[in-house]
A and B are shown apart, each in its own frame.
Chain A
Amino acid sequence: MASALLDRRLLAITGKGGTGKSTITAALALAASRRGKKVLVCEVVANERVANLFGKPASGTEIRLLLPNLYSVHVRPREAMREYALMILKYETLYKLAFENAAARYFLSAAPSLAEIVMLGKVWWHATQEEERGKPRWDLVILDAPATGHGLTFLTVPEVFLQLVQDGPLARDMRDMQSLLGNPDTCRTCIVTLPEEMPANEAIELHKALKAHSLPQGPLFLNGCFEPRFTPQERVAVARGGPALAAAGEAADNHEARADLSSLYASVLGKSVDLPLIKIPFLFDRVFNAQAIEKVAGIIEGAL
């Protein structure tokens, strides 16, 4: 099932802010590249992160190699708009006339979600780009999508746009985009969440919303899990141990409290979400770097 996941053309990773979307994105990219796939990570939020996680400088709007077979790019609205408009309008002068006059710029900010449209358009273009006929340039494109609310807006942009606009080249592309995002053989959206109340609730809501919008989903990643480590008897015994064991006792109690929350939310999610659940343990690394990504990639590979 995991290998099947990495055999898609496009994976979109979303979830509540702070749940570790970029970490999971980076780890999935690493796992796929190790299988010999040529992978492109597309980041669309204001601050680029994935290149840094691999200890590399930010890629910016140019595609950069991070590791063998693993590339990343930062998709920004302004550049994406220009490239995309040029693809449709063909002529630089026409582009300048329509897009680079002050009046038109105001106008474009009124078009709902135009920034999202062009950014998603750029990602879609990468995902479908062919090196030569029938041979895609990228085996897998992974989109580090915006957080929950905005993530849903982002992924449903073609649908919303098509409600407003039915004709024109943009509408045609949006239709293609929607069919790529909606095809379970080519695309999956994965939710990342934490064993805490709000992130877990949001994951459940998001799961329902993605389903309602007919967007096929991959496994749910439950990040930052604690496994039980002490039996109740052990904790009672340590608690009776007096001052010499006070610190150890508190640490054990804290640990078990978090393990309880992990198993509570794993079971809540298991009941409300009909997707495979991949648990990622909490990592105690002092610096979150390539080694930590390696660990997570290893866990995902094992789970797949």
Chain B
Amino acid sequence: MSRPNLAEILDGRKVVCCVGSGGVGKTTTAAAIALQFAVDGKRVLVLTIDPARRLANSLGLESLGNRETRIDPKLFAAAGLQPKGEMWAMMLDLKLTWDELVTKQSASRAQAEDILKNRIYQTLSTAMAGSLEYMAMEKVYEVASSGRFDAVVLDTPPTSNALDFLHAADRILGVLDNNAMRIILGPMLKASKVGFRLLAVPSSLVLKTLSRFTGAEFLKDLAAFMLAFEGMFEGFKDRAARVNKLMRSPEAAFVLVTSPTPLTIQEALFFHGALKADGVPTSAVIVNRVQRDPRRLGGPDNPAALREALQLAGLKDENELAQRLGKTLTEQATLADLDRREIARLEGTLKATPLFTVPRLRKDVHDLTGLWQIDNCLFAGGE
């Protein structure tokens, strides 16, 4: 078979990032990849943002944030699996990750506390756009460089903009540390012996104008925040640079996950383009929930022929049932055609990137058995 298989593509990777728009099955795919790694003998951690509750429950995961939890070997046995490695999972807690990072990077306890209680920091660490993406990468780096695991599989937050994801750190650090802001806020920061001191009243015209817009309190909070962060930027930047380097190294793989609807395919193409523009190759594309075409099984699809087949099967006077069967067959053939068309569009654009499909399963996946079913589609090459 000329098609490369997913196991080869992901072999030796320390980090696997599952990227894609919301609702395409990233969490399930990330868990399925991690399961395959564990079965093959790796000690693997799947880092997820907001897992399906039933999947989390069935894997015995606590909802407590940032705790590495091992999936109980008994669960594998119950699913008929004998992993040679270990599967661990963790749910990312945004605020906790920020707090840990600030505490680690602060020069003193007092500096850390000043930052942690600042109102601007609290908004930044819980609500600012890009914050979750930044912290997800940060956590991956922390785990990957700790040596505790052979591989980390990341289920990324649903971002409609791929650039947000790779540039989140730059963007947020750009906000935290830029000379422009110092120039603007400068008049509020008065140099004193022990560093800077905060002035209560904005004095420059630019500041006065801005304060009419945002209120003076906000400017004061912002200046206080900048003061508190003073001296920490180098550490943050250095770390972000190392995260960037890891993500662009051959040790990291980006797996683009999508579903076959026109909208998500469009977003997947956009994602792929944005990654490429950033110099990050997409290692593989996985299309979830592909409608299987019932016509592959052969047999008639028009009501008259179906009626005959029903009669041959000993079902008499089933005209109405034949109508319903015909309609259902046509509907699903339509869905299969639409999916095929979209996948062809994706393949046509992404020529060199290997593509794998997972059929739409009849039930939601919420245990190891279900994940293993997905692995059989992804890694065994069969449908």
Binding site for B on A (CB under 8 A): 16-19, 45-46, 85, 88-89, 94, 97-98, 101-107, 109-113, 115, 147-150, 153, 160, 163-171, 194, 196-199, 201, 229-230, 234, 237-238, 240-248, 250-255, 257, 261, 284, 286, 288
Chain A nearest Cβ from B380, distance in angstroms: 21
Cα separation A115 to B130 with both chains bound (whole Å): 13
Chain B, residues 300-313, CB within 8 Å of chain A (1/0): the string is: 11000010011011
- How far does the alpha carbon of A103 sit from the alpha carbon of B52 in the complex, in Å? 43
Residue on B nearest A237 in the bound complex, by CB: B315
Kindly state the separation between the CA atoms of A249 and B362 in the bound complex, as whole angstroms. 14
Interface string of B194-230 (1 = CB under 8 A from A): 0000000000011001111111111001100000000
Q: Does B276 contact A (CB under 8 A)?
A: no
Residues in A neighbouring B4, C-beta threshold 8 A: none
* Cβ of B12 to closest chain A Cβ, rounded Å: 31
Shortest Cβ gap from A82 to chain B (Å) = 12
Q: Which residues of B contact A163 (CB under 8 A)?
A: 119
Chain A positions within 8 Å of B143 at CB level? none
B residues adjacent to A (C-beta < 8 A): 21-24, 27, 52-54, 119-120, 123-124, 127-129, 158, 160-161, 171, 174-176, 178, 180-181, 183-185, 205-206, 209-218, 221-222, 259, 261-264, 292, 294-301, 306, 309-310, 312-313, 315, 321, 324-326, 328-329, 331-332, 334-335, 337-338, 360, 362-364, 366
Given contacts A17-B22, A103-B184, A160-B127, contact A89 B364 (CB under 8 A): no
Least CB distance, A111 to chain B, in whole angstroms: 6
Contact B213 A88 (CB under 8 A): yes
Q: Determine the chain A residues whose CB is within 8 A of the CB of B160 once the complex forms.
A: 17, 45-46, 147
- Residues of chain B within 8 A (CB-CB) of A165 are 214-215, 217-218
Contact of A18 among B206, B211, B263, B321 (CB under 8 A): B263
Bound-complex Cα distance A105 to B321 (A): 66
For B129, list chain A residues within 8 Å (CB): 113, 115, 150, 153
Chain B residues near A46 (CB-CB < 8 A): 160-161
Tell me if B127 and A110 are in contact (CB < 8 A). Answer: no
Q: State whether B24 touches A112 (Cβ < 8 A).
A: no
How far is A108 from B146 in the complex, measured between Cα atoms in Å?
37
C-alpha spacing A107/B328, complex, angstroms: 58
Bound Cα distance A282, B221 (Å): 50
Measured CB to CB, the closest approach of chain B to A233, in angstroms, equals 10
Q: How distant is the Cα of A171 from the Cα of B296 in the complex, in angstroms?
A: 62
Pairwise interchain contact A248-B306, C-beta atoms closer than 8 A? yes
Write the nearest CB–CB distance from B126 to chain A, whole angstroms: 9
Q: Name A244's contact: one of B24, B176, B185, B309 (CB within 8 Å).
A: B309
Residues from chain A with a CB closer than 8 A to the CB of B321 are 230, 234, 238
Q: Nearest A residue to B119 by beta-carbon distance?
A: A164
The residue in chain A whose Cβ has the minimal distance to the Cβ of B55 is A197
Can you list 14 contacts pairing A with B, beta carbon distance less than 8 Å? A18-B264, A97-B209, A98-B210, A103-B180, A109-B174, A153-B127, A165-B217, A237-B315, A241-B313, A243-B299, A246-B297, A252-B328, A254-B294, A255-B332
Please state if B218 and A164 are interface contacts (CB–CB under 8 Å). yes
Evaluate contact between B324 and A168: CB separation under 8 angstroms. no
Q: Give the residues in chain A near B261, CB-CB below 8 Å.
A: 18
| B338 contacts A147, C-beta separation under 8 Å | no
A230 to B206, Cβ gap below 8 A? Answer: no
With A98-B209, A198-B23, A229-B324 already in contact, the answer to whether A247 and B218 are too (CB < 8 A) is no
A230 touches which one: B263, B301, B324, B329 (CB < 8 A)? B324
B127 & A247 in contact (Cβ 8 Å cutoff): no
Given A18-B263, A98-B213, A247-B295, answer yes or no on A112-B328 (Cβ-Cβ < 8 Å).
no
Tell me, in angstroms, the Cα distance from A196 to B218 when the chains sit together.
42
C-alpha spacing A289/B104, complex, angstroms: 54
Distance to closest chain B CB from A146 (angstroms): 8
- Give the distance in Å from the alpha carbon of A199 to the alpha carbon of B259 in the complex: 15
- Contact: B366 with A106, CB < 8 Å? no
Closest 8 CB pairs of A and B: A17-B22, A168-B215, A241-B313, A103-B180, A257-B362, A244-B309, A98-B209, A106-B180
**Are B22 and A247 in contact, with the CB atoms below 8 A?**
no
* Shortest Cβ distance from residue B66 to the other chain A in the assembled complex, whole angstroms: 19
A112 and B128 contacting across the interface, CB-CB below 8 Å: yes
Q: Which residue of B lies closest to A254 (CB)?
A: B332
In the bound complex, CA of A220 to CA of B120 (Å): 35
Would you call A106 and B174 a contact (CB within 8 A)? yes
Residues of B within 8 A of A105 (CB): 180
Most buried by A among B215, B259, B312, B338: B215
Contacts of A229 in B (CB 8 A): 324, 328
Q: Write the nearest CB–CB distance from A190 to chain B, whole angstroms.
A: 18
Across the interface, do B206 and A101 meet the contact criterion of CB distance under 8 Å?
A: yes
Contact B325 A248, beta carbon cutoff 8 Å? yes
- B119-A107 in contact (CB<8A): no
Output the nearest chain B residue to A18 by Cβ-Cβ distance: B23
CB-CB under 8 A for A107 and B181, given A97-B209, A98-B209, A284-B334: yes
Contacts of A288 in B (CB 8 A): 262
State whether A89 touches B313 (Cβ < 8 A).
no
Closest-CB distance, B181 to chain A (whole angstroms): 5
Residue of B nearest to A148 (CB): B22
Residues of A within 8 A of B325 (CB): 238, 245, 248, 251-252
Q: Are the C-beta atoms of A241 and B310 separated by less than 8 Å? A: yes
- Report the Cα distance A147→B24, complex, angstroms: 14
Q: Please name all residues of chain B whose beta carbon is closer than 8 Å to the beta carbon of A166 when the two chains form the complex.
A: 215, 217
Cβ contacts under 8 Å, A150 to chain B: 129
Contact B334 A147 (CB under 8 A): no
Establish whether residues B213 and A110, one from each chain, have CB atoms under 8 Å apart when the complex forms.
no
A107-B210, A164-B218, A248-B329 are contacts. A147–B313 as well, Cβ < 8 Å? Answer: no
Q: Please report the C-alpha to C-alpha distance between residue A104 and residue B264 in the assembled complex, in whole angstroms.
A: 36
Closest to A282 in B: B331
Most chain B CB atoms below 10 A, which of A45, A97, A237, A245? A245
Partner of B206, one of A97, A167, A170, A198: A97
Residue numbers in A under 8 Å from B299 (CB-CB): 243-248
Nearest B-chain residue to A197, judged by Cβ: B364
Q: Who on chain B is nearest to A250 by CB?
A: B294
Q: Which residues of A contact B366 (CB under 8 A)?
A: 197
Q: Which of B52, B205, B264 has the most CB of A within 10 A?
A: B52
